[in-house]
Amino acid sequence: MKYEIQLFFSLTFVVSISTGQNLQIHYDFAEDRRYFTSTLEMYKPDEKGATFWFVDFEYNQPGNKSASVGYWEFARYMNLSFMEGLSGTIQFNDGVSRWGPLGHVWLTGITYPVDLKITTVSTELLYRAAYGSKSHDGQLTFVFYVPLLNGKAHLTGYADIWTQDRFDDEGKETAVMSQPQLWYAVSSKLYVGGEARITKNFLPKDGWQFYATFALKWDME
């Protein structure tokens, strides 16, 4: 387990030399979640599509509050020439924690921007192959960005809805995860804000879970 945690820190260092990334430090102030989380993410468009990734660490190891959970996602988007705006995508998620591996997930599908007037929502329809899953699953993802206060602030985030095997192995269930973020620029690089974390069936808990954070974001472009 120590080697796996070190591997995730090494991955963070390697990808941090890329351009177009930001670093976020969140503090979770729920009664049972008083710890920090760091997020390093990058989105970089190019002439053939775009690349996106992020790496999360939760710092809640008993005793010394070192990294207890490491998680990362990588997505590559490829423009499809036969329809403007339509892209194909392949994605990979994986992570480790102090109680064991989180299990890797492969996803592939299509994405298309939907114009809602106040913003354009990137909509992804995906086939989901999770390690150990006994059958096929699907995922619907929405990604949004809304500028506010003449660009001084912005609302951004995503919502994932997918099917998965139940934790008790009794059939299927629908899982939800959404993380909207609100940021206000205090300089050209530094933002203050926070994040709401809304989940259902993400971990072996019944019902909806809601957490909020206070955070700082440093734009590293």
Which pLDDT value is given to residue 78? 97
Quickly list DSSP for 124-151.
EEEEEEETT-SS-EEEEEEEEEEEEGGG
For the chain, how big is the Rg over CA atoms in Å? 18
Pick from 120, 38, 111, 35: which is nearest to 79 by CA? Answer: 111
- As a residue count, the chain comes to 221
pLDDT exceeds cutoff 80 at 17: no
Spatial contact of 189 and 218, defined as CB atoms under 8 Å apart: yes
- Asked if 134 and 165 count as a contact pair (C-beta separation under 8 A), the reply is yes
Predicted pLDDT of residue 2: 41
Quick one: average pLDDT of 61-67? 84
What was the pLDDT predicted at 86? 95
pLDDT in tens, 92-123: 999 988 777 778 899 999 999 998 888 889 99
pLDDT at 136: 87
Which residues are paired to 190 by β-bridges? 218
Q: How many other CB atoms sit within 10 Å of the CB of residue 62?
A: 8
Contact of 78 with 48, CB cutoff 8 Å: yes
Q: What angle do CA 185, 191, 192 make, to 5 degrees?
A: 105
Q: Is residue 48 helix, strand or coil? A: coil
- Residue 178 banded pLDDT, cuts 50, 70, 90: very high
Give the mean pLDDT of the chain. 87
The CATH homologous superfamily for domain 2-219 is monomeric porin ompg (2.40.160.40)
Domain ranges of the chain: 2-219
Average pLDDT value for residue range 33-38: 92
Label residue 14 by pLDDT band (50, 70, 90): very low
**CA torsion through residues 169, 200, 11, 52, sign:** positive
Q: Name every residue whose Cβ is closer than 8 Å to that of residue 73 and which is 6 or more positions away in sequence.
A: 52, 53, 54, 91, 92, 93
CA–CA distances in Å: residue 136 to residues 124, 172, 199: 17, 10, 21
Model confidence pLDDT, tens digit, residues 116-146: 888 889 999 999 999 888 788 999 999 999 9
Question: How many alpha carbons lie under 13 Å from residue 215 in its C-beta half-sphere?
Answer: 25
Kindly state the tokens that stand for 90. 């392949």
Q: What is the mean pLDDT of residues 177-186?
A: 97
User: Between β-strands 172-178 and 190-200, what pairing exists: parallel, antiparallel or unpaired?
Assistant: antiparallel
In the chain, % of residues over pLDDT 70 = 90
Q: Beta strand pairing status for 105-115 and 100-101?
A: unpaired
> Does residue 6 sit in helix, strand or coil?
helix
State residue 7's pLDDT score.
Answer: 39
